[in-house]
Structures are given as C-alpha cells and as structure tokens.
Structure 1
Amino acid sequence: MKYTVVGAGAMGLRYGILLQENAHVEVDYVEPTAASLKRIREQGNQVWKSRDHQNRHLLPVKIYSPEEYNGDPDVWIFFMKQMQLEDALTRLAPKFKEHQTALGAMNGMGHIEKLQKYFADERIIGGTAMIATILNDYGDVDFMGAEGAGSSAYANLTEQDSAVLDDVLVDFKAAHLNPTKSNNFMGTLLTKVFFNAVENSIATMFQSRMGELMAYDNFLEGIARPLINEAYDAAEAAGYQLLETREEMVQQVDYVSNVANPLHFPSMYQDFVKGRPTEVDYINGWIVELAKKNGLKATNHELVTNFVHLAEAMRKYRKPVDQTHDKV
C-alpha cells in the first residue's frame, strides 16, 4: 500500500515516519501550511525526529504542496486541524481518484462530513490515536513514550469489513501503531473525543501535564466523571454506542494520567501556548451541540468550551509559557 499523509504536523509526521521506518512502505507528505513546507525544504527535505527529547536526528521526507502533488496513493491519511481541513481538501480536490481511500484520525469531530464531499462512504475510514506526540516546531517532531507506546483504532464508515482496511491494519501493525478494528464507526471516534473533552481541555485551561491534573484528588470524581456522564448522555440520546462503558472511560483517564502519559502536554495545550486557535469547538463544543440536537443540555461542556476560549482571549494580556521542553 502507498500512503499520502496530509498535514506534516505532530501526528502526520509520526504516522508517516513509523510507516516509512518500521513498515517499509512508500509515504508521501502533502503540507498545506506554507511556513511548515518552507522550513522542511530549508532543512533539505528532512524533518527532525526525537524521542522523549533525546536522539534528535534528521530523516528524509518526500514533501509537496497540495498544488504540486501528483502522486497516486492507495490511502490518504488526513492529520489536519479541524478548522484547516476544508481548505486543504479544496486545494487537493483535483488530485482525488475513485479508487483511493481517505483515512481520518484527527482530533475532534467535523472531518468526516468534509471527507464525504470528496470520497464515497465505502472509501472512508475513521480512526483514533492514543499516541502522545509533540511538534517542537515546523519540521521537528518528538515521539513521547517508548517504541511501540500508544494504540489506535479504526472503523469503516459503512461499518462493514473491507480488504482496504485489512491491508491498512497490516501496515499499521508493522509500523507499531498498535491498531485494532471496529465495526462501530461513531463509537470508535467518540472514544477519543470524550477522552479529549476531559484531558485536553482541562490541561489546556490550567496549562498542565496530564499527570499533574491528578494533583487534585477529586479530579476523577469531581471533574472527569461529570463531563463523561454528560457526553455519554448526549451520545446515548443520539443512538450512539461507545466502545467503553462510562466507568471504563473514567478508568482510561486515570490510567493515561497516572501511568501511560503523565508527563505529556496534549495537542490542545501545544496549540494554546503557541498562540494558535484550539479545537475546543470540535470537541467539547461538538458535545454541546449533540446534546442540544437531542433535547438535552451539556452545561459542563458548554462552560469548559467558554473557559478555553476565555483562556485564549487572555493571551492578549499575558503570553503563556511553553513548558513542553521543561525537565521534570
């Protein structure tokens, strides 16, 4: 299988590099962000790769702007920010072909509807990645955790098995992405959305590592559980069944915070401290809208959404400090 990764950010580079280095498959990169593309080209069409801030070295990549790209991948892997995807798809539209598949494993919700404008439902795979990665700067990615750390899950939009997804899973397993397959499309996507609605948003508001949230001994019961319950209420009202129970989701927050990635600053925090807009509207805000559509209120998520936007507004008065390279 040949892959084209759209978006040379933290996760786009992580997936692409793992597929190149471990699965030994052909990978192209399309970078719609001009400043990022310029930096990678200035580095000799290479990107810096580190693991846990160590062993920083350059790796070659085949990278193009959307307008330049004329490759013919079997699978497009989209790792854009939700608010950037539509422009990238518009620029790439002439390049898409009927036999190609789109795989979106982005944070938040909203990308699937955008992909459906360009790809048939049977050619869309949704996914989630519980894989900690930091983009230090354009063309400079830091893998967090040991080799093989993290996991990912994928489902066809049709919720039917397919040869393409089976082939993707073979390559992703070889790449050490630890993939699993599901036939519950929305359940697969919402697992990550609901997790991020707790960890990413709260860590961003308080500019903290995931593990530091647990310094408040009532974090799980006083903050995580109410947010999870509201999200599950909205999903169940909409007829969606998640892959985990509510209790298992609380336990996942506990495990990731205390064991898996306690030192990690989530992607929303990384956007926040670099002065970029966050994706809170596509995470907590999306849950608020889902609840409204089904006759419910998600007041906790609405408050969190507004608090994150307030924190964004406060950057006008005091610039947040990027702590991603601080030693613990």
Structure 2
Amino acid sequence: MKYTVLGAGAMGLRYGVLLQEAGFDVDFVEIWDPQINKIREQNGVFVSRDHENKHLVPVNIYTPEEYKGNPDVWIVFTKQMQLEDALKRTAHAFNDNQYVVSPMNGMGHIDKLNQYFDKSKVIGATALIGTVLNGPGDVDFIGAAGAGSMHMANETEKPDDVTNQIVEEFTKANLNPTLTTNFLGTLMAKVIFNSVVNTLCTMFEIQMGEFIQSPVAEKLGRQLINEAFDVCERANITLLNTREEEWQTVKFVSSTTNPLHYPSMYQDMSKGRNTEVDYINGYIYELGLKYHYEATTHDYLRNLVHLAEFSRDFDPATLTKETADA
C-alpha cells in the first residue's frame, strides 16, 4: 500500500523511512518550514542510529497545501497542539477510502481525526520507539534495528482486511506491531507510560536509563501508575496491562530498550517548544474529575512542567522593582 506521513518530525520520519526501506511507497507532509526547506536543500534526511552511521535517505516532502497524493493510509504524527491546523490544511487530500493510523502521544487526537475520517477507518496506535530529531533534516533512531514495539486497535474494535494488511506491512518494516481489540485500553496504556517517563525525565533533564537507576524511580512511577489506574477503573476503561505489568514495562523500556533516550517531552522543553503535558498527565487528571476522583499527583506534576516552561521563557527584564522587593 501507499503511505503518507502527516508530521515529518522524529517519529514520523522513523515510521516513514522504515516503511520506505521495506519497499513501500511513502510521502511526507510537514507543517514546519525549516524541516521542509532543509530536507529539500540536502535532497533527503540524514538518518543515524544511536548517533552512528549517519547517512542521507532521499524522501519526498510537501507542505499540506501542495500535496496532491492519494495514499491508502495516512500515518499522523504531529504534536497534539498542531493537529487541528495540520488536518485542516491537508483536508483536500483526504477521501472516504483512506485509513488513518495515529501513534501520537497523549489523548485528544481521536476526536479531531473523526472529523475527517470515518470511525471504521481510524486505527489508534501507540509506539514504544525512541527517536530524536537533532535538527531540521537530521534524525537519530534510538535503539538497535528492530528495537521498540507498538500496539494498534481499530476505533470500532473490529479489525478488517486492510487493518491486517497494515499490520503485516508494519511488521515487514520492523515496527513490531501488535493488534488488539481494546481501543481505549490500548491508547491509555501508553498515556500512563508517558505520564511517568516523559514527564519525570523532562523535569530533571535525564535520559530514561538514568531515571530508572534512581532509588526513587519505582516509588514515583508506581504512585503515578496507581492514580492513573484508579481513574481508568472509574471510567470503565480496561487497560491492556495490570498495574504491575505497567511498571514492569516502564522498567524494561527504560533500562533495556531505550536507556539512552530523552523522551519527546524533554526534546520539546529543551528546544523552547510547548510540551504535551496537558494531553498526558493533564488528560488523566481531567478524566478523573469526570468521575469525582482527583489524580492530584498528575495535576501537581503537570503544573510543575508548566512552571518549568514559564521559567525557561521568562525574561528577568520584565521584573518590576515592587516584584523584586517582595
């Protein structure tokens, strides 16, 4: 099948390049001009693995407005905050025959995708695959070839022939997909994972392998996991894992699969971009409120990230004498 990746950032490039290398026709649509311009200037994207073997991979990249392709499957990998604009700009290229797979971080994207694609063709997904965008046109795949995994689930929870073909082709591309029939449970399992690893690594500017070696990693992780499971139980969401299995996943991915990885939230923070914390820890907290439960640790951690964003961008020159003397 033909694939088009909407959102050619770190993860979008990894999925698209791996599918392209597996023999499939892939286009990229991007909304960040520096990325488009750099890839066109150098006639491709530079790809490394664990900071080594940097090489140029030719790719086709377009702005949403200029894209005229007709893929069988869209793979959507924008940031949550950018998705609405990206979909609106690309809507002319959508049609009723196309499927969409979205392994984005956080929650909030499914409702937006449903405005353009029928639920029978929406496949939610998660990705435990570390990738870093070093800069425009320069991506680093973290982990050995074949490292990482993903889960996929149809929004209708009724896999069809096209879904099975996508799983087969993703397998050929070394993306290690597992198909489930538990849509919300699949997506929320990754939200919970990110609510621990992404947020804590970001706050302390550390790699996943460094986090997991801390003597307090397990205590912090289990506290966040337990609150999130409490929320999901009240919302009648059956998760893929037990609480213990969720912690063991955090532990294994951090120590074995991606110990050298800085999570995407850290990458956003360090490069002056807004983070997706409202769609991860914030989503868990807001979902809990609907069922009269306060996931206070998640809310506290979300607010700490926002404070870090504020302090990162704060200009001391704006301080008044009264504020400084207070």
Q: State the TM-score, normalizing by the size of structure 2.
A: 0.95
Amino acid at match of 1:240: I
Structure 1 residue 215: Cα displacement:
3.8
Alignment of 1:178-257 (within 5 A): 178-221=176-219, 223-257=220-254
Deviation of 1:317 (Å): 5.4
Alignment gaps of 5+ in structure 1: 319-328
Q: 1:1-328 counterparts in 2 under 5 A? A: 1-22=1-22, 24-44=23-43, 46-221=44-219, 223-316=220-313
Shift of 1:13: 0.3
Whole-angstrom CA distance in 2 between matches of 1:97 and 1:309? 38
1:211 aligns to what SS in structure 2?
A: helix
* 2-structure distance, mates of 1:214, 1:81: 26
**TM-score normalised to the size of structure 1?**
0.94
Identity in percent: 56
**Which entry has the higher C-alpha Rg, 1 or 2?**
2
Structure 2 alignment gaps of length 5 or more:
316-326
Matched AA of 2:95: K
User: Match of 2:65, as an amino acid?
Assistant: E
Q: Alpha-carbon deviation of 1:280? A: 0.3
Asked whether the equivalents of residues 6 and 12 of structure 1 are also in contact (C-alpha less than 8 Å), the reply is yes
Tell me, in whole angstroms, the C-alpha distance in 2 between the residues paired with 1:219 and 1:131. 21
Give the distance between the partners of 2:34 and 2:262, measured in 1 at CA.
23
Provide Cα deviations, 1:26-78, integer angstroms capped at 9, x if missing partner.
0011111122111111112x000000101111111011110111111000000
| Structure 2 Cα separation of the partners of residues 89 and 161 of structure 1 | 24
One-letter amino acid of the structure 1 residue matched with residue 12 of structure 2: G
Amino acid at match of 1:16: G
Measured in 1, the distance between the counterparts of 2:144 and 2:207 equals 18
Which stretch has the larger CA shift, 262-271 or 207-216? 207-216
Task: Name the count of aligned residue pairs.
Answer: 315
Q: Deviations over 1:255-311 (max 9, x none)?
A: 122222121111110111001000000000000100001110010000000001111
**Tell me, what secondary structure is at the counterpart of 2:313?**
coil
**4+ runs deviating over 6 angstroms:** none
In the TM superposition, what is the alpha-carbon distance from 1:139 to its structure 2 partner? 1.3
CA–CA separation in structure 1 for the residues paired with 2:312 and 2:46 = 29
Give the C-alpha shift of residue 218 in structure 1. Answer: 2.4
CA deviation profile, 1:121-175 (whole Å, cap 9, x unmatched): 0010000010011100111110011110000110100000211110101110000
- When the two chains are superposed, the root-mean-square deviation of aligned CA atoms in Å is 1.0
Q: Tell me what 2:323 maps to.
A: none
The letter for the 2-side match of 1:313 is F
AA of the residue aligned to 2:231: A
What do the CA deviations read for 1:196-248 (whole angstroms, capped 9, x no partner)? 00000000000001111134312212x11110011011111111000000010
